[in-house]
Structure 1
């Protein structure tokens, strides 16, 4: 009986320790998630609460990448320091970056996915609903236009629903699934290493790149 009591006490102490680690240490939480993914043979490497939490990790991966692909919505992050060093490398012909942004012009008879996404956003953000999202995307095109370089920093448009942001390198891919009740920047960011999910997301980008207008 005493042995069982000692075991129970030990298990309780261990559980309490894990709870404290979970509460106070982001690094420990990430390590535990990584271990669980490894044991379950998943290709998830890490999960971040939002884009702000993921920014440092993304910047580190971009700093050592040579082939980068990005599919995004409004593209605000492309105008910040997260991509600044990468764009300099592209201009120096030391890296290649493909960027897919939503098409601004919608052919007759095709769905307007920018308007569709704006209808979702205006429900929780009253600043939207009068074409603001389209203007923000246009501003991203304008920002990138002077620094594009054929074969190294290129932009094309896509015409599918705004389901998320994808940032891919040779080693990993980050997926930020968009939801109908929050901005993309507030959504979780899932980091995958090479595997089935990586291959599917890269295949999607490759298909859209071939079909997108330059």
Structure 2
């Protein structure tokens, strides 16, 4: 257990240093230094994005060729946007297996979702009580409709700290670390290729949350 904790801690330290390098230089230099440092640190990071929203074009491309997709989101707005359009579109290619985790909608003033809403409200006063939960509910209904239409989508709800976003495919993992009161789209995002320590960490985080989650149907009913 001690070795596992040390491994996670060292990977997070290396990740933070990689992000710092990514912010410090021009786009071309950032890519070269990020690749070099990540190899030295044992973290094959593909790219570091200053803001999550800058990763959307690359993420959209990776989603089109994915065999399976796993998403853990703090709100899920991007699930309804162009980035994921290829995932929900009807087509002739083999269906992807899609698993989606969204925050638990069962209302409580002490829930993790309420805590995240309180954090964001410090930077964005428009986040009135219940506003974040309502956005999650709208996005959950969108995913639930896709699940009914395609039959290859599973939706569940997690009751855990709302501090990061994961989008993982069989080839790459995109990890966003929410920065305090900042919106997720304004927080830094890291892309790591399959068979890397950071990719494996993202998979472990998703698997743990999935095991602790509740089915989408019951969570939506409880929130109604």
TM range (shorter): 0.7 to 0.9
Q: Deviations over 1:115-137 (max 9, x none)?
A: 10011011110101321001111
2:221 aligned partner: none
Structure of greater Rg: 1
2:182 aligned partner: 182
Whether the 8 Å contact between 1:147 and 1:153 is mirrored in structure 2 is yes
Q: Which is worse superposed, 46-55 or 155-164?
A: 46-55
* Structure-2 change in CA distance of 1:62 and 1:56 (3 Å): same
Whether the 8 Å contact between 2:163 and 2:177 is mirrored in structure 1 is yes
Give the Cα separation in 2 of the matches to 1:27 and 1:158: 38
Determine whether 1:68 maps to 2:69: yes
* Structure-2 change in CA distance of 1:87 and 1:31 (3 Å): farther
**How many pairs are equivalent?**
191
Deviation of 1:38 after TM superposition, in Å, equals: 2.1
Deviation of 1:148 after TM superposition, in Å, equals: 0.5
Question: Residues 90-169 of structure 1: matches in 2 within 5 Å?
Answer: 94-105=95-106, 111-149=110-148, 152-169=152-169
Q: Deviations over 1:42-91 (max 9, x none)?
A: 23221011122111111111111111100001110001010010122699
TM-score, normalised relative to structure 2: 0.77
* Structure-2 change in CA distance of 1:187 and 1:23 (3 Å): closer
* Structure-2 change in CA distance of 1:180 and 1:86 (3 Å): same
TM-score, normalised relative to structure 1: 0.80
Give the Cα separation in 1 of the matches to 2:109 and 2:211: 19
Question: Residues 14-29 of structure 1: matches in 2 within 5 Å?
Answer: 26-29=27-30
Report runs of 4+ in structure 1 exceeding 4 Å deviation.
22-25, 89-93
The alignment partner of 2:122 has SS state of helix
Which residues of structure 1 form unaligned runs of 5+? 1-21
Give the Cα separation in 2 of the matches to 1:172 and 1:147: 23
Whether the 8 Å contact between 2:121 and 2:181 is mirrored in structure 1 is no
Whether the 8 Å contact between 1:89 and 1:95 is mirrored in structure 2 is no
